[in-house]
Each structure stands twice: as structure tokens, then as C-alpha cells.
């Protein structure tokens, strides 16, 4: 029986299965453990189940000499130093595929909300501003027949493209398959740009001031991938100057975004608190996969969903 630390309560019954096989310590606070608290609670464990809010670096790994496996409750593993884990022979697992449809659904919800100005419309009703039917009030942009640019044609990008067909949209994409287009070309032609690329050294800040200038003044930027893909200062300026029409973000950098962050004051901007996978089905299945990864590794078997080399 191994000792495991889980950095948050998880939906569903997956942690019960982990507890049946191993000694499990669960962080019960709604907020994530601080770096020092994480280091202290993980100091003697063999298995670690983390969230994307937990930074796993060489310093933490040095403080956990017994650690044998890390299961990340996310598709991305940019919160984990994979070079440091590989150097120590610690496998890292993730939770792919099970949140694809939920995130694609939310992406389209953001597209529609931004294009049709739904947050503004709902706020106007509550504020008593709905006085009559006005032909020129709260005019938005049509999604049907628009050109959708998908940056990152992985599982989620492909799922978004499938939904776009129902709106008769023309789809451009970067990335896989050999039939993609360069990012600059996509930005110039797309009415809606939707980000689905992983966050790494080559993609960090890829939507910068120059990229935003290439977009149409009527274009909408949607990000349900990682906040670090976007230069948020440049995005604020683009929204304030009308360089693009609107943006809808489910992710920011940092998370949560402080209430006094300048981006919060930008016009025509919708920000959600990273709820792309927030359905009962997706979050419970993510827990299943994370626990399956940890159980396998602690039993000396390959992780079924391994993210590390």
C-alpha cells in the first residue's frame, strides 16, 4: 500500500477506488494548497494526483524523494516540469479525450455569446434598459456562414469544426493534416478565431499585438485553451481601439484573474472562470482517468494515459 496525496476533492467515486488500494490524503480546502503546503503534504508520498493549479517543478520533486508517479487532472501538463520528472524517472499521466465534447460545447457557447452580444443583452434587461423593440439596438454578428479559424487542430479543435458544419461555416485551421494554413493567413480571413493549441515555448504569447492587428476589425477572438497563448495587454488595447470587435475567454493568465487586472476593464469582453470541462460527465470521467493512471503506475504498470516521454 502506497501513500498518495490528492490536491483537491474530485467529483464522482474515483477517489474511493484509490482509497481502497492505497493510503490517501486529500486536500479539503476549496483553494489549492500553497507551494509550501504542497511540499509538506507530498514530502513522503509515492503517488501524487494534481490539478493544473499545482506547480510541480524540480524544487518540489527534490523535496519528495519517495515520489513514483504523478497523475494530472487535466489534458494539459504545462503545470509540470516534464524534464525534471523524466530525469527522476517519474511518469506523468493526464486525462485526454474525456473533456473534448464539453470544451467544444463551451467554445461554441462563447462564439454565440460574443457574436450576438448576449451578456450585454441580459444585463440590459436586468438594468431596466429594455424600453421597446429597437431596430438598431444590440446589433451583433451572424455566426451562420461566417469563417471560423481554428488555431490548433487537435481533438478539441476537430470537435469545434464538427459543430461549425451545423452553422454552414467555412473552417480554416492551422496545424495537423497537411491541409492547414499559416497563422497569419488564418488571422486575416477569419471572422472568428478560436484557440485550441497547447501552451509551450513556441505558442506562448502567439496572439500578440501583431497578430491582433492582422485580424479583421469585425473579428472575434475565443480562447478555451490556455491563457498564456494571448498577450493580454495587447488584447485589451485591441478591444479598446476597436482593432477587433470582441473577445470571449474561458482561460486567463494568471488564473484567477485579479479583479483589478486592467483586462477586466476592456470593452466587448466576456471572461469565464475556466469552466470548459465543467460538466458532471466530463469531470467525473477525468477523475476516473487520473485514478487509473495512478493505480497503474503504483502497481508497476504503464499508465494508460501517459503524457510524459
Q: Report the catalytic residues.
A: 226, 255, 274
Report the number of secondary-structure helices (H) and strands (E) in the chain: 11, 11
Residue pair 165/191 in contact by the 8 Å Cβ criterion: no
Residue pair 170/148 in contact by the 8 Å Cβ criterion: yes
| CA atoms of 21 and 44, how far apart (whole Å) | 17
Q: 124 φ, ψ to 5°?
A: -65, -40
Task: List, as one string, the DSSP characters of 111-173.
Answer: HHHHHTTHHHHHHHHHTT---S--TTTT-----TTPEEEEE--SHHHHHHHHHHHTTT-EEEE
Query: How crowded is the C-beta side of 47, counted as CA atoms within 13 Å?
Result: 29
* Adjacency order of strands within the sheet including 220-223: 170-173, 147-151, 192-195, 220-223, 246-249, 269-271
Grid cell listed for 19? 482509497
Residue for cell digits 463551451? 106
What is the helix (H) or strand (E) element at residue 104, kind and residue range? helix 100-115
Rounding to the nearest 10 degrees, give the CA dihedral for residues 233, 239, 244, 248.
Answer: 80
The distance of Cα 149 from the centroid of its chain, to the nearest Å, equals: 18
Provide the residue count of the chain.
Answer: 309
Q: 97 φ, ψ to 5°?
A: 75, -40
Query: How crowded is the C-beta side of 236, counted as CA atoms within 13 Å?
Result: 9
Amino acid at each position: 500500500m502506497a501513500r498518495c496525496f490528492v490536491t483537491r476533492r474530485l467529483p464522482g467515486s474515483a477517489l474511493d477506488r484509490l482509497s481502497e488500494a492505497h493510503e490517501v490524503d486529500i486536500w479539503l480546502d476549496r483553494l489549492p494548497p500553497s507551494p509550501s503546503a504542497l511540499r509538506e503534504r507530498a514530502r513522503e508520498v509515492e503517488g501524487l494526483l494534481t490539478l493544473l493549479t499545482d506547480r510541480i517543478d524540480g524544487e518540489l520533486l527534490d523535496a519528495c524523494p519517495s515520489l513514483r508517479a504523478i497523475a494530472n487532472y487535466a489534458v494539459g501538463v504545462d503545470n509540470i516540469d516534464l524534464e525534471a520528472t523524466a530525469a527522476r524517472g517519474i511518469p506523468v499521466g493526464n486525462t485526454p479525450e474525456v473533456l473534448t465534447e464539453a470544451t467544444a460545447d463551451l467554445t461554441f457557447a462563447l462564439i454565440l455569446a460574443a457574436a450576438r452580444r448576449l451578456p450585454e443583452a441580459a444585463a440590459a434587461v436586468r438594468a431596466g434598459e429594455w424600453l421597446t423593440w429597437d431596430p438598431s439596438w444590440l446589433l451583433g454578428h451572424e455566426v451562420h456562414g461566417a469563417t471560423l479559424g481554428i488555431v490548433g487542430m487537435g481533438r478539441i479543435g476537430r470537435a469545434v469544426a464538427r459543430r461549425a458544419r451545423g452553422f454552414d461555416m467555412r473552417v480554416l485551421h492551422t496545424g495537423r493534416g497537411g491541409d492547414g494554413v499559416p497563422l497569419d493567413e488564418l488571422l486575416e480571413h477569419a471572422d472568428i478565431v478560436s484557440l485550441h493549441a497547447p501552451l509551450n515555448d513556441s505558442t506562448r504569447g502567439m496572439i500578440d499585438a501583431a497578430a491582433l492587428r492582422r485580424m479583421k476589425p469585425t473579428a472575434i477572438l475565443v480562447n478555451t485553451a490556455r491563457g498564456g497563448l494571448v498577450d493580454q495587454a495587447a488584447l485589451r488595447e485591441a478591444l479598446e481601439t476597436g482593432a477587433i470587435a470582441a473577445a470571449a475567454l474561458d482561460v486567463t493568465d494568471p488564473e484567477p484573474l485579479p479583479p483589478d487586472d486592467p483586462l477586466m476593464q476592456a470593452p466587448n469582453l466576456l471572461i469565464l472562470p475556466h469552466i470548459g470541462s465543467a460538466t458532471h460527465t466530463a469531470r467525473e470521467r477525468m477523475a476516473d482517468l487520473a485514478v487509473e493512471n495512478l493505480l497503474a503506475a503504483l502497481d508497476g504498470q504503464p499508465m494508460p494515459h501517459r503524457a510524459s516521454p
